[in-house]
Amino acid sequence: MKIKCLVLDDEPLALDQMENYIGRTPFLELVALSRSGFEAIDIISREKVDLLFADINMPDINGVDFVKSLQVKPLIIFTTAFSEYAFEGFKVDALDYLLKPIGYNDFLKSANKALNFLETINPDRSKPEESAEHIFVKTDYKVVRISLNDILYIEGMREYARIHLVSGKSLMPLIRLHSLAEQLPSSRFMRVHRSYIVNLEKICTVEHSRIIFDGKVYIPISEQYKEVFQKFLSTHSLG
């Protein structure tokens, strides 16, 4: 399941931080960043938005009043530097509340709360993604069908992404790593570095912040993605 997110905040640094956090979280997808409530209304009218991260203390319109004005409301997580606004936020049925400065751990807890809520009310949303067994990519002037089970890992190379297969062969379609990641089921593939996506089912060993495939290929796990990857390991480990 991919949760489409809109961030509303008048502070550029806050927008940059939220963009980074959303990019680090596999099941979130950024629709847009907005510094104005009026611009955000226009975005919501044109784009599908599942989750809104909204600052409460906005210059043009109070975040709570902004949410009240929406005819169709996405899930709401309020962000603010002032704890006294928390009660006001929950009065409009906000899913959660994040107090600035926001750490990634707190952000991830709120994001998971949104994921659990959406999976509960829309249990069928993830079925197409989870049932996909192959993707089609364009390479060497032809379209090639690739079984997901044949993919070992994917390496980003500027305008291209090199898809490394279990067989030892590789394909290099003209597609960015970010775009390719959107076609892959998040339950089976994870971005662990700005330049690498790995097939979680093919991992043999994890050692010293590196993923090892068959004792031959070493993929680094960057700090940016380490927390999410560690969460995956903790939920799939015994003892």
Residue 167 is predicted with a pLDDT of: 92
Q: Taking 70 as the threshold, does the pLDDT of residue 179 lie above it? A: yes
Q: Helix, strand or coil for residue 223?
A: helix
Residue 117 is predicted with a pLDDT of: 85
CA separation for the pair 175, 200 (Å, rounded) = 21
Q: Taking 70 as the threshold, does the pLDDT of residue 91 lie above it? A: no
What is the chain's alpha carbon radius of gyration, rounded to the nearest angstrom? Answer: 20
Residue 132 is predicted with a pLDDT of: 64
Higher pLDDT, 68 or 120: 68
What's the average model confidence in pLDDT over 32-57? 91
What is this structure's pTM? 0.55
Q: Which fold has domain 132-235?
A: OB fold (Dihydrolipoamide Acetyltransferase, E2P) (2.40.50)
What's the average model confidence in pLDDT over 209-223? 89
Domain edges within the chain: 3-125, 132-235
Superfamily of domain 3-125: Response regulator (3.40.50.2300)
Residue 75 is predicted with a pLDDT of: 92
Which tens digit of pLDDT belongs to each residue from 117-151?
887 766 555 444 555 688 888 887 788 889 999 99
Higher pLDDT, 93 or 32: 32
To the nearest 10 degrees (0 to 180), the angle between helices 12-24 and 104-121 is 60
